[in-house]
Structure 1
Amino acid sequence: MTVAIVLSSTLLALVLAIALVLPSITSPTVPFGVRVPPQHADDPTVVGQTRIYRWRVLLSGIATAGVGVVIYAVTGETLLLPLSVLVLDGVWWGCFFLANHEIRAAKAAGGWYKDLHQGIAVDTGLRTDPPRFPWLWLAPALIITAATVVIGVISYPSMPEMLAVHYGANGAPHRLAAKSVGTAFSLVFVQIGVTALLVGIAAAIFRSRPDLDPAHPVGSARWYRQYMSLGAKALLGLVAMIDLGMLGSSLLMWTGTVTPWAPLVVVLPILAAVVVVVVILARNNRERDDAEEDTGLIHRDDDKHWRGGLFYINREDHALMVPRRFGLGWTLNFGNPRAAMLLAGVAAMIGLLITLRFGG
């Protein structure tokens, strides 16, 4: 019970901190997903909406935590605690969309792009001389997965006849299943599936379309190459921690261990990795000024391809992934048919894993 409270509180605090910090680490020319000229980055509407957004998020976080505590005190049900994180996440994006709407309205009313020279910068070297994929960073995940398989094979004869396939917040098993290869190695399948998925995403990052600054194309291209490599390495590091959590959970299942700290075995490595990834990407999320001469061009106004500043839909763009406008990392081009195929594949894999994990 204490573990569930600690984990839920930690997740709530992490989501709240990310929501409050994101406006500061996002490029000033895309506040809340709206493309604006550099001279309007500090427009009173942008500054005001940033302040209002933070107050809304902060008060929502406090209210969500308070409601979660009250509900838990009345019901005593720890399952409701993680729901407060989902509620805060939904409220957070609601606050984002409100700010996005107000800035877009001010931009249209003020004609911020009138008589400005718009341009596009392209790094053709990403196709002719792409950066090398950091395969070495995949080694920890493969080693952990291989170790899980070896330990499972060795331990299989001595495993209990009934295996705990699901643990509650108090560390006690909630569901038992008869020992079989499918049951005992269900989390190994999770490791393999998650590793394959995230490695595929990391590879797609290396083929993503960069959003280069036409005012400083050389420095922008140099920064993007470094950021792209850093993002792939961070993702592969996260894969390793997820696999480590699955190894810990497998050991609990194979040995029949019952402990109130069981949730930490799975969640703690993953949570720590997420924090590290967020910090690393946040520190490098913006292009650094390298004193390159300004070309006089600005980003083209391409808001029509961004629904609400979050979802990129452009059927004429063949890129599968593009940099996010608000937040960290990359997002799918939902106008690309391959995006639908990827999402369908992910859904199918999740369904298969759930069947393997919880099926009869």
Structure 2
Amino acid sequence: MTIFLMAAIMILIIGVQAFVPFLVKKTEVFGVYVPQEYTQKKTLELLKKRYATMVVLAGIVAAAIYAILLSVTEATEEAAAFWGLGLQLALILFSMALYLINHLKVKNEKQQEGWTVGKKEKVVVDLQFRNDLEMVSGIAFLLPMLITAGLIFYTISQYGSLPHQIPVHWGPGGTPDRFTDKTAFSSISLLLVLLMMQALFYFLNQARKTSGAKIMASQKQRSRERELASRKYGSWLLFITTVSATLLLGSFQLSIIHPELGSALWNMALIIGFLILVLGGTALYTFKVVKSGLAAAEQQQQPGIIDADRDEHWKAGIFYVNKEDPSVMVDKRFGVGWTVNFGNPKSWLYVLLPFVVLLAIALLI
């Protein structure tokens, strides 16, 4: 089962990383803004195709290495998971290196050919946008948090009957493989991690709801539809992930209190179900966002008018830093989903707070 999971995740990584250049907006090529009139340049299309080809070939090599390692050794589940994670990380690092190389190539070509020289930037403000949002209500995100709070109180009430060794990690096979001594804190540590995740997803959803829409002057209707779809289906993806994590970790917590409820087969089924829901939701989100706006009519671009460049606010085309933008969350320029505005002090809470909480829990248990 571990091998199956590692293989499935590897295929997903290859697919997403290889085709990202074709999934993002046409005016954003390897993290660089490209005016509409230059998006069909053959050099840019060639860079995208070469990137996709090299990532796929790297994925094939990684899969072959994984298969050879498993065939020549009697690998345990832990070893198979370790090799799989290592190869997945290598694929991500390889694709990131390729991205940075292509980012610099596009940036240099843009500067040398003067794609924005003499052009007037136009910013579009849509006052009706927030009224048309169809996102999951914040109240819906609070319900799983109430369930977690209830489990915390229930665990405390059953503290005397808990085992002396508390599981803190479950392997791919669904069996606990790491334990810690029972304390009042360790008995609810898993639920505290879950509560932190739920709170983070709640605030991410709220941040997306209040962040400004980046609507293109050259493709108002298409970009508007894409922005609405990104927030709608992104909100549902966050909610599905929240509910799935609550079911998974909540079930693990109940198995600590009532061991008869937590068979290895049941736990493994929960893990697989969680991955299917999250990965399937991510794939559906990507499909819906890419598909959105395609049916909208594309307007004729005004001569000498381009969209707001904003390249100076995108460091390496990945990190968005804009102190004048009140938005906390923005769509990525390369990749699926969103990133934070590092120029907004509020954004650092989303980056640092989860890390601090997880580190504190790890040190205390």
- Name the TM tier (shorter chain): 0.7 to 0.9
Q: How many residues align?
A: 354
Say if 2:87 is the partner of 1:89.
Answer: no
Give the one of 134, 137, 142 matched to 2:136: 134
Say if 2:137 is the partner of 1:110.
Answer: no
- Whether the 8 Å CA contact 2:234–2:337 is kept in 1: the answer is yes
Residues 118/8 of structure 1: CA separation in 2 closer, same or farther (3 Å cut) = same
Distance in 2, matches of 1:310 and 1:183, equals: 37
Aligned to 1:332: 340
Give the one of 42, 45, 48 matched to 1:47: 45
Say if 2:210 is the partner of 1:207.
Answer: yes
Residues 154-178 of structure 1: per-residue CA shift (max 9 Å, x gap): 7655443333332334544333333
Say if 2:286 is the partner of 1:284.
Answer: no
Residues 165-201 of structure 1: per-residue CA shift (max 9 Å, x gap): 3233454433333334423322211221110011111
Say if 2:153 is the partner of 1:161.
Answer: no
Say if 2:316 is the partner of 1:311.
Answer: no
Distance in 2, matches of 1:71 and 1:336, equals: 46
Aligned to 2:14: 16
1:146 Cα deviation after fit: 5.6
3-state DSSP class of the match of 1:182?
coil
TM-score by length of 2: 0.85
Give the one of 246, 250, 256 matched to 2:249: 246
Give the one of 183, 201, 225 matched to 1:198: 201
* Deviates most, 324-333 or 346-355: 346-355
Match for 1:287: what amino acid?
A: G
3-state DSSP class of the match of 1:206?
helix
- Whether the 8 Å CA contact 2:241–2:278 is kept in 1: the answer is yes
Aligned to 1:298: 306
1:58 Cα deviation after fit: 0.6
Residues 113-142 of structure 1: per-residue CA shift (max 9 Å, x gap): 233332111223457x58475225426634
Say if 2:54 is the partner of 1:56.
Answer: yes
* Deviates most, 69-78 or 53-62: 69-78
Residues 73-119 of structure 1: per-residue CA shift (max 9 Å, x gap): 44722222222111111112122222222222222222222333321
Residues 323/173 of structure 1: CA separation in 2 closer, same or farther (3 Å cut) = closer
Identity of aligned residues (%): 22
Aligned to 1:177: 180
3-state DSSP class of the match of 1:337?
coil
Aligned to 1:32: 30
Gaps of 5+ in 2: none
Distance in 2, matches of 1:287 and 1:178, equals: 55
Say if 2:264 is the partner of 1:259.
Answer: yes
1:282 Cα deviation after fit: 3.3
